[in-house]
Amino acid sequence: MDMSQYLDLFIDESKEHLQAINERLLELEKTPEDMSVVNDIFRSAHTLKGMSATMGFEDLANLTHQMENVLDGIRNRRLSVTPELLDVIFEAVDHLEAMISSIAAGGDGTRDVRRTVEQLKRIEQGEMPNKQAAREEPPLEHAYGEFEYHVLEQAKEQGFSVYEIRVRLRDDCLLKAARVYMVFEQLNEVGEIVKATPPVEMLEEEQFDREFLVTVVSKAPADELQKRLMGISEIDDVKVSRLSSDEPSAESEKAAAPQQPAAMEQAAAVQAEAEAPEKQTVKQATKTIRVNIERLDRLMNLFEELVVDRGRLEQISRELNHAELTETVERMSRISSDLQTIILNMRMVPVETVFNRFPRMVRQLARELGKKVRLDIIGADTELDRTVIDEIGDPLVHLIRNALDHGIEAPDVRAARGKPEEGTVQLRAYHSGNHVFIEIEDDGAGISREKVLQKAKSRGIVSPQAAEHLNDQQIYELIFAPGFSTAEKVSDISGRGVGLDVVKSTIESLGGTVSVDSQPGKGSLFSIQLPLTLSIISVLLVQIAEETYAIPLSSIIETALVKKEEIFSAHNQPVIDFRGKIVPLVRLKDVFAVPGAADDGDAVAVVIVRKGEKLAALAVDSFIGQQEVVLKSLGNYLSSVFAISGATILGDGRVALIIDCNALVK
């Protein structure tokens, strides 16, 4: 019987069961005597074992079977639930997740899990693990699936060398994910990365100890690769070993075993599927169906083309002034607006898909730090566009790690300050207008105003004179400066501020903003504001000489006409008085060097835009009107153009550049 047709369903359902196991294990730790929770975990594990055996993934089935035996011991009260026992079960779940990821990427799901199986067997026999045993890091293994093996073989035939590169980071490395990114950047300049161990997702989430393996095909010599990688700071050691064409690695030989042609086609198909963004989990109900995310992306692209043509039709009907045509176009506009709402809603995904991984992460970090922390999640059913969801995970990981490491105090310190020993981190999400707000609040030590100011002065981020005039809010915002940290002792988990510049730039690249507020001794609150969707946005079209630009409505406060005599100068910068506030005037014709732009007349048309608490007035020649447009990327070659976030095609076929207001507000 050909099982390949059920593979997608198997992968989706396995991920759902593993997520359920993760969530219920965290509940079990809080209520060890609740047998209904154990039964739920047992049922999910049993279903996963049955599905794995049916699909022929024996390693997966065997590990799940051994985990099931331990759960059965807990259920029958032969074994008691301890944090150390749960550490081993969580480790088994990590292996299961890695196996499922391997299968989804076209591999065979094999993995060296002997140590974990041995630990589970010892637990089943009544031998309880100690803390050290539960925390040992498994050795890195780098087995190739059939698809990867064929890629490597083809590369060798075309004259490329295949290298396995083992990279070890320093013990005190702060931003492990950033170092991984730099390693990948360097390798991509001289070759192609075929595989990484642990997988890229785990590397990005810093779910590895100090070492990782990368397989690269390149025509560059091994010593050049070594030299490039050793040039990256905070890298301790790099070992480059070449896989010769006549001596493939043991793992490769294993993968090269003859298999059915159908399996090869299946591997290629699954690989293509895996390259698409991961499918979001949809809860099964009687009236829901699973839809491949690629189909939704295609539907969105087709609708974006329709929006462009709709704009063109509206313009033609205005020019011709034909009653029946105008009526038909207006009706089509209404229908397409409804269709747009439906399509955008179809692409909406609950932030729960991102939030789900944090309870487990908080538990692990709290144990490593010797702290007691409770994570409260509110509003997990709040929905965001999938494109935003894909990007928001890493910034939230940074902020939560910071809250645990340098926000929440140790239990004895909290007790001395009259606080409960268990600290609380609250993760909230809610809608407001066309935006979603995500807030991370902790009841820890807060941010020290004096320490931030002192560090900012010593780093030259702010001058002593300017520091005198900063309010509390502005001082707290300084922690988002690149490389800024107030941590007295640098840890491998975070430093309050380390990586926060990355958080800020990521969120701003999504058209969002991030702000911080803090009360010393009481805690800190980080607030992230994000747009609901990134693909179709409402803009104000403006004219500068012969050129048309689009300003996103989400950034605009209002438009105004300013008389020439109302424009003043401060620090050699033109400013205007806007409702009692001094707002800098930015002449877009100068910023974009627009040819043939006329001098200011008696009055200047301005658009007041906001970024957080800061304002700017953008001077334009005239306003054209409001329109919904499709946001298109400028591509890799033009990605670094100052103050331009993308482009759109107008109704008459012309291209209008979309202004990035965040870059213009200083």
Which residues, listed in sequence order, are joined to residue 297 by a DSSP beta bridge?
A: none
Residue carrying the six token digits 């406060």: 557
Residue 354 CB burial class (10 angstroms; 0-12, 13-18, ≥19): buried
Which residues, other chains included, contact 569 with Cβ-Cβ below 8 Å and sequence gap of 6+? 575
> Tokens for 521?
């001794």
Interstrand relation of 567-570 and 573-578 (parallel, antiparallel or unpaired): antiparallel
Give dist(CA 528, CA 532) in Å, integer. 12
Backbone dihedral angles phi then psi of residue 151, each to the nearest 5 degrees: -60, -45
Q: What is the 3-state secondary structure (H, E, C) of 138-166?
A: CCCCCCCCHHHHHHHHHHHHCCCEEEEEE
> Tokens for 615?
């304002």
Burial call 601-618: b when 16+ CB within 10 Å, e when fewer: eeebbbbbbbbeeebbbb
> Tokens for 440?
């991370």
Give dist(CA 426, CA 523) in Å, integer. 11
> Tokens for 299?
């539907």
Which residues, listed in sequence order, are joined to residue 614 by a DSSP beta bridge?
A: 611
DSSP string, 371-416: -EEEEEEE-TT-EEEHHHHHHHHHHHHHHHHHIIIIISPPHHHHHH
Q: What is the 3-state secondary structure (H, E, C) of 246-284?
A: CCCCHHHHHHCCCCCHHHHHHHHHHHHHHHCCCCCCCCC
Give dist(CA 627, CA 423) in Å, integer. 48
The DSSP symbol for 631 reads -
Question: What are the catalytic residues?
Answer: 46, 68, 402
Give dist(CA 497, CA 485) in Å, integer. 5
